[in-house]
Amino acid sequence: MIEVEPGVEVLCHCHWQANRTRALTIIIVHGLEGSSESQYMLGITKKALAAGMNVVRYNQRNCGGTDALAPVLYHSGLSNDVAVVAREVIARDGVSRLALVGFSMGGNIVLKLAGEWGSQAPPQFCAVATCCPAIDLAKSADTLHQPVNRIYEIYFLWALHRRMLQKARLFPEHFDVRRLRGIRSLREFDDKVTAYYCAFAGVDDYYDRASAAHVVERIAVPTLILYAANDPFIRITAETRRKISSNHNISFVETEDGGHCAFIGQPVGSPAKSPVRTGKVGHSSYDDGYWAEHEIVNFLRRF
């Protein structure tokens, strides 16, 4: 457990190499309603450990069974929580090299932190890798509400509704479940619940202040962004694409196929083709078919 602000702790699972100070350490941040036990978190961990890296599987506030720790919610702008964990790992464990990895919502958070740090980051910080980062929150939330994507939105709303009820049971003096009435979209949930309880003026203020799109041009370390053209709801605006392309530190790899964090590569012995890319990172093996996980780990091998 690491205290990220007074009275608020997050749960991190740390996996160390025999010589932790010499190995690259990666902190992995999951997506909305995920946890350190999400499949992609475990997949990256297995591959990174095999590649000789240290791994910290980071749970955002309330995630990984930690709802009872504090009367707070998590949201897409909590980059400082990751910063505190990073500095703690550097100071306590003496790691010499540190990288951040994020999926979807977690991708936004680590890109936001990298941009906020800019050229003032800890000297150990050397790289960022993300998969389908939600860096334009407003655009993605509105796309999620389109009829074709309602199945995803309904799932997220069900999970968030359930979590809110759990928080109200644990901290009845802090949370009012009546705020859940009439919510039919993620934008409405973020307006009536997330923004309200997380000190934002409203949903537009939340989406604006929490989006990494505002700071990607300031990222000062090598960065990988994996994105699929057919992602059902994550959208990257033309202005954000311009900022990304103007930053020589960022490698933006867009595939024709891949959906949302569901890239499938070529398993050993399979004639299937890997996703078609418009960018190139480097050699990948496809022994288990999880293309994005291999791309991220192979990118991080450089550091």
For the cut 80, the answer to whether the pLDDT of residue 265 exceeds it is no
Query: What pLDDT, in 10s, does the model give residues 221-255?
Result: 999 999 988 888 889 999 999 999 999 999 999 88
The mean pLDDT of 273-293, rounded to a whole number, is 56
Mean pLDDT, all residues of the chain: 90
For the cut 70, the answer to whether the pLDDT of residue 101 exceeds it is yes
What pLDDT band is residue 266 in, cutting at 50, 70 and 90?
Answer: low
Q: What percent of the chain has pLDDT over 90?
A: 82
Is the CB of residue 135 less than 8 Å from the CB of residue 216? Answer: yes
With a CB cutoff of 8 Å and minimum separation 6, the contacts of 149 are: 143, 232, 233
Residue 219: exposed, middle, or buried by beta-carbon count in 10 A (0-12, 13-18, 19+)?
buried
Domains for the chain: give ranges and CATH numbers: 2-136+212-300 (3.40.50.1820), 137-210 (no CATH)
Better pLDDT: 282 or 5: 5
Is the CB of residue 25 less than 8 Å from the CB of residue 89? Answer: yes
Q: What is the pLDDT of residue 273?
A: 44
The mean pLDDT of 136-148, rounded to a whole number, is 92
What secondary structure, in 3-state letters, does the chain show?
CEEEECCEEECEEEECCCCCCCCEEEEEECCCCCCCCCHHHHHHHHHHHHCCCEEEEECCCCCCCCHHHCCCCCCCCCHHHHHHHHHHHHHHHCCCEEEEEEECHHHHHHHHHHHHHHHHCCCCEEEEEEECCCCCHHHHHHHHCCHHHHHHHHHHHHHHHHHHHHHHHHCCCCCCHHHHCCCCCHHHHHHHHHHHHCCCCCHHHHHHHHCHHHCHHHCCCCEEEEEECCCCCCCCCHHHHHHHHHCCCEEEEEECCCCCCCCCCCCCCCCCCCCCECCCCCCCCCCCCCHHHHHHHHHHCCC
